[in-house]
Amino acid sequence: MALLEELAEKLAYDTMKAMDETGNDRLWVDVGNYIGTSSPSLQEAYNTACRTHLAERRGRKFLEEQIAKSRAAKGQA
């Protein structure tokens, strides 16, 4: 269902922005629980989208740290 994934992705994206703004790193869980009471299908798609975004953030942070370490070791700040 394209509509379901589209809605879930948009909500996940907006939630990630709100998490950055508020500093509440568990906001995505609260939103997921809230929407799950009316649409378990949307909740599942939303949770998947959120986990994907969070994993990408963690991976990107790790990559940036590895690059910084490599540059520091080579004397390239």
Supply the pLDDT for residue 1.
Answer: 67
Domain that holds residue 51: 2-73
Query: Residue 74: which pLDDT band, with cuts at 50, 70 and 90?
Result: very high
pLDDT at 17 over 90: yes
Q: What is the pTM of this model?
A: 0.86
Query: Residue 59: which pLDDT band, with cuts at 50, 70 and 90?
Result: very high
**Residue 47 corresponds to which tokens in the numbers above?**
């949770």
Cβ atoms 44, 10 nearer than 8 A: no
Q: For 54-71, what is the mean pLDDT?
A: 97
Residue 8: how many other CB atoms lie within 10 Å: 24
The domain total for the chain is 1
pLDDT at 77 over 80: no
Q: For 48-55, what is the mean pLDDT?
A: 98
